Amino acid sequence: MDAVLVEIGIPLENKNARTRRRIAEAALAVAGVSRSFQEALSSAEGRFLTTRQIIAFENEHLGGNYSPGAYDDIRRRHLILLTTAGHVISSSSVETQSTNNPTRGYAASPAFAALLRAHGTVKWNATLNDFLCSHKALREELARKRELTRIPVRLPSGAEVKLSAGEHNALQRDIIQEFLPRFGFGAEVLYLGDSTDRYLVRETEKLNAIGFFTLEHEELPDVVAYSVKKKLLFLIEAVHSSGEMDEIRVRKLRAKLTSSTANTVFVSAFATRADFRKFAANLAWESEA
């Protein structure tokens, strides 16, 4: 079942093995599949299971040993991708029913059940192709939405990169587009990380040329920039909830930069004065804010 979900574009790549198994088991339970995919039933046949009934099916037919009290995990963690994609539907979508009704149930959509019944038969490839043509892959849809919400950043070189959405990354954008042009003496960004790409910008040769430490180091700041004109190396942390340049962190960074030919400037960047006040007492002497 796991392989079927991946083929139809359910994004399971970042899920651990246990979660992937639970998602697959929930899909099988909703469709009533215990021995053969040909058993699959849908909302058209009136098969709706509550989350407690799903757990009972998993325990009885799929070798599960799950607590009935974990029913809320079924809705929030194990069915969420399938319901978002429309392959599993709620009874509230086909009848007037309160969303917190304890008899509320879930069913396989008719198209999803038909796809499952075709699995392992000569009709599989044709049915899968038809299914994919008529249903957007959730993986692709989520990727498009993430792309729409990404934060464009214009680097000093003129190149543009995109950061994931979020307050922390918005602050990184301002560091690059507002702080560096004013106070960076023409500094070039040599490193910039992102939650989805730790090495969004990585100028390894230029970093090596000034004796910078390995980028895998745990103390690596959010932005590393270098001014050739002034031989200034800017190590900048975008402080949203933690990570300010305190005495301990600065000391660790200095110890890693003993081979550097640049003069280092340690910077803690804040989005607001209120944020600065929260961390002001912790900032290292001779660092910048």
**Of 212, 221, 224, whose CA–CA distance to 243 is shortest?**
221
Are the C-beta atoms of 168 and 240 separated by less than 8 Å?
yes
**Can you spell out the DSSP letters for 110-153?**
HHHHHHHHHTTSTTHHHHHHHHHHHS--HHHHHHHHHHHT-EEE
Assigned token pair, 226: 């270098």
Judge: domain 150-282, CATH 3.40.1350.80.
Answer: yes
Question: What residue spans define the domains of the chain?
Answer: 2-145, 150-282
For 119-124, which contacts have Cβ atoms below 8 Å and span 24 or more sequence positions?
A: 119/4, 119/37, 120/37
* CA–CA dist 195, 143 (Å, integer): 15
Judge: domain 2-145, CATH 3.40.50.1220.
Answer: no
Are the C-beta atoms of 259 and 211 separated by less than 8 Å?
yes
Name the 3-class secondary structure at 273. Answer: helix
* CA–CA dist 112, 185 (Å, integer): 59
Beta bridge partners of 202: 191
Tens-of-pLDDT digits for all 289 residues of the chain?
989 998 888 888 878 999 999 999 999 999 999 999 999 999 999 999 999 999 999 999 999 999 988 888 898 889 988 888 888 888 866 554 444 444 469 999 999 999 999 999 999 999 988 888 877 765 566 556 555 567 788 888 888 888 877 788 889 999 999 999 999 999 999 999 886 677 888 898 999 999 988 776 667 899 999 999 999 999 999 998 788 999 999 998 999 898 888 999 999 999 999 999 999 999 999 999 9
What pTM was estimated for this model as a whole? 0.52
